[in-house]
Amino acid sequence: MAETSTGYIKHHLQNLQACSTEQGWQFNTAENPTLCSGSRLDAVNVDSLFFSILLGVIFLWIFRSAAKKATTGVPGKFQAFIELVIDFVDTNVRDTFHGKNKMIAPLGLTIFVWVYLMNLMDLIPVDWIPSLAHAAGIPFLKIVPSTDVNVTFAMSISVFILIIFYSLKIKGVKGFSKELLLNPFNHWAAIPVNLILEGAALLAKPISLSLRLFGNMYAGELIYILIALMGLYQLPLHFGWSLLHVLVTFLQAFIFMMLTVVYLSLAHEDH
Amino acid sequence: MDFNSTLIGQTIAMIVFVWFTMKYIWPALDAAITERQEKIAEGLAAADRSQHDLELAQKSAAETMREAKEKAAELLDQAKKRHAEIVDSAKDDARTEAEKIKAGAQAEIEQEVHRAREDLRKQVSVLAVAGAEKILQRSIDASAQADILDSLVAEL
């Protein structure tokens, strides 16, 4: 374990990574934590992927078991809870999205529950699982996948691709081009300006979507780590910050879902 | 902010999860919820309907009750009327009977009187004849004056 505060913080913010080196695939180690750092295709954040997929599978397993046992009669408490979540998502999607698309609601549900579960990992005290991992010989472990920019960008880029796909599908190449080129100034001479403005607006969607989630969760995690450095005083602070974070985790998941639905709704609107 | 293959792995995971949710989770739960909503709506409608039916039944019961009361009152009236009629006719009968009896009695009395007068007349005539005989024995033959006596009798 790192001894200094800086070392402690750095250690907690370091992903467990694997990458291909001259000696084949290797994990980064306590001695060489930056072995796999940098933006590169032949490296992967093992902990982020592991926890996000684990949480995704837990989500699917819970909801699938509810779906299998779903009765149209009087629901049990478990089913009622799952239906509450479904209904929450469904209501929000219905209020926002008026087109016909069978994918939007399941997409919203997946994003909402998955992001929420990933955010909830933030509430586990910062040293518990990394300490266990350390005892098991794993040098680094970041357990909150949504503090990994790769994870949030993967989701927002998927949404972005869907935005482009549905924009082209609903409006056609012509309609979508028109929207990009003749808005907000409807004159041929203004096409370059329009392209810059509309292009920026379009690109801002996935970037803001992922950075909002990443920034909130990363900052929250960082504050947890700072609080964990304070000795005995951390207890009330940790409690207070956790109370706030119960709200933040939910809110960020909700915002991610809602904005996804809103963006896709805009992509479906033909002017 | 280092980007690496995590992004690709996460994207694939997301596609798989969304596909699974779309295929195996959302339709089943959504169908269950929709069907239950329909059931509840039907149940509420049925409750409303039976409430309405109950009101109708109560109304018709009240109607029947009222009719029965009216009928009973009518019957009572009829019975009273009939009673009065019977009493009246009995009175009439009694009166006619009494008059009949009275008339009979009067006729009888008159007959008696007549007979008595007849008897009296005969006796008076006999007495008169006897008296006259006695008077005439001393003087004349009774048979010779019989026509005079008869005319006397007739005057009585």
What is the spatial distance between Cα A267 and Cα A176, in angstroms, rounded to a whole number?
Answer: 9
Asked if the interface predicted TM-score (ipTM) of this complex is over 0.85, the answer is: yes
Give me the residues of B, 37-96, that contact A with CB < 8 A: 39
Burial letters A113-134, b for 16+ CB under 10 A, else e: bbbbbbbbbbeeebeebbeebb
Helix (H) or strand (E) holding A225: helix A191-228
End-to-end alpha-carbon separation of chain B, Å? 172
Of residues A258, A266, A252, the one with CA closest to residue A120: A252
Q: CA–CA distance from B99 to each of A18, A51, A235, B104, B111 (Å)?
A: 142, 127, 127, 8, 18
Predicted confidence at residue B106, as pLDDT, reads: 95
Q: What confidence tens digit (pLDDT) does each residue in B98-113 have?
A: 999 999 999 999 999 9
Summary mean pLDDT of chain A: 90
Instruction: Indicate the pLDDT class of residue A31, thresholds 50, 70 and 90.
Output: confident
Instruction: Write down the pLDDT at residue B140.
Output: 62
The label of the residue with tokens 């005989």 reads: B133
> Following DSSP, what letter does each residue of B22-62 receive, concatenated?
IIIIHHHHHHHHHHHHHHHHHHHHHHHHHHHHHHHHHHHHH
A45-64 pLDDT per residue, tens: 999 999 999 999 999 999 99
Average pLDDT over residues A26-39: 85
Residue bearing tokens 């005439």: B136
Is A212 labeled as catalytic in the residue annotation?
Answer: yes
pLDDT, tens only, A148-188: 999 999 999 999 999 999 999 998 999 888 888 888 888 88
Q: How far apart are CA B76 and CA A71, in angstroms?
A: 64
- From the number of C-beta atoms within 10 Å of its C-beta (0-12, 13-18, 19+), residue A112 rates as buried
Instruction: State which residue of chain A sits closest to B35, comparing Cα positions.
Output: A72
pLDDT at A193: 92
Contact across the interface for B13 and A157, Cβ inside 8 Å: no
Instruction: Indicate the pLDDT class of residue A271, thresholds 50, 70 and 90.
Output: low
A42 touches chain B (CB under 8 A): yes
Chain B residue with Cα closest to A147: B1
User: Cβ B29–A39 below 8 Å, yes or no?
Assistant: no
Contact B10 A103 (CB under 8 A): no
Secondary structure letter of residue A63 according to DSSP:
H
Residue A28 has pLDDT above 60, yes or no: yes
Residues of chain A found within 8 Å of residue B41, distances taken between Cβ atoms: none
- Cβ of A72 within 8 Å of Cβ of B10? The answer is no
Q: Indicate if the pLDDT at residue A1 is higher than 70.
A: no
B35 interface with A at CB cutoff 8 Å:
yes
Cβ distance B17 to A64 less than 8 Å, yes or no, reads no
Q: Please list every residue in chain A whose beta carbon sits closer than 8 Å to the beta carbon of residue B20.
A: 60, 64
Q: Which of A150, A158, A212, A242 is catalytic?
A: A212
Per-residue pLDDT 10s for chain B (156 aa) are 789 999 999 999 999 999 999 999 999 999 999 999 999 999 999 999 999 999 999 999 999 999 999 999 999 999 999 999 999 999 999 999 999 999 999 999 999 999 999 988 888 888 888 887 787 777 666 566 778 778 888 877
* DSSP-assigned letters across all residues of B61-98: HHHHHHHHHHHHHHHHHHHHHHHHHHHHHHHHHHHHHH
Peptide bond into A130 cis (omega under 30): no
Question: Is the CA virtual torsion A103, A166, A196, B7 positive or negative?
Answer: positive
